[in-house]
Structure 1
Amino acid sequence: MDNYQNKLVFVGHVGAGKTTAIRSISDVPPVSTEMPMSSEQIDGKLTTTVALDYSTVELDDGELLHIYGVPGQKYLDFMWPMVCHGAMGIIVLVNACSPQKLTYAALMLEEFSKLAPHASFAVGVTRSDLVPSFRLDAFRNDLITKGFRLPVVKVDAREPEQVDFLVKILLSSRFVGSQIASA
């Protein structure tokens, strides 16, 4: 029988790559609630998640990892507690192109650490290839300054190997007892 406590949730603002990351590592086609965006597009994005994305990945030991993505818009945050209940891990995706990336990351970490207090956390920075001036070490240090000491890596959400690596970082940090820790 599957253990639904093997729950991993991708969070982040619109355009961070949550749906793309889930699609890239899923063993089965994900259930998705993508809908056309209003006239206000973000980074040329035509659709957005309005409820959740869901899929599974079979782990090496045969257990299923249940993967969810939640909408990034604040007005859809009523989904966040329902999806995050019992999550063992939260991956915050941040779009490097956003001028508010640090603010967004800190807000997501604060909010989701309340919703899933026993979860492990990791941050994946997407689209960093489009921002030559982006420095991962500086971003990581800024998060530490805000009180978040956790794994932070660059990731291309379209590349299954990179998303898989990010998931493994999160799972590894879980087994060594790493959760959001104050600096």
Structure 2
Amino acid sequence: MISNNPIYYHVKFLFRNPWNKPIPQFYYMVKSKGKVILKSRTFPNGITEPIAVRQDQETEIYAIESWKEGSPEVYIDTLKSFDEIQKIIGKTPKIIPVDVPYLRFDNIKTVPNSAPSTGYKRKTYKIVSGDTLEKISKKFGVKLSDILKINPQIKDKNVIKVGQIIKIPTQGK
């Protein structure tokens, strides 16, 4: 007899900063199909409480600034279905690492979306004084060519303006 009930796995996430260190007391939010599953913060070791992840659905991970209503949220990553994670890792992971880029909520406003022509998932970034596209690409760990690909309004890679909003591709095309 085949069951129509979805299968859930309980996993924990380990949030790590760009230097591969755990992030204690990190506010995060987990969504599936656009619905919030959990809003919480990490323990002092950077690990989350157990989260029920559905076997057949993608799970989106966000950083949030605080508990305040309407607090900015920053898209970090989308975990493929748990079946896909198992194919990559080859086993049922107990703790899934999540790499978090350097975040400043005062100049990052993000929306989870996809550019239909490129297939990139992206976030937006507001240019501040002293920024260059090369510095921004290093800061977010992406290729300069990928930034240019999803920002066709940038005609010259050496010409950007303070206050300009650009798209930043995230991990995974």
> One fold, TM greater than 0.5?
no
Report which structure shows greater RCO (CA 8 Å, sep ≥6).
1
Normalised by the length of structure 1, the TM-score is 0.27
Q: Structure 1 or 2: larger strand share?
A: 2
Q: Structure 1 or 2: larger helix share?
A: 1
Question: Which of these two proteins has the greater Rg computed from alpha carbons?
Answer: 2
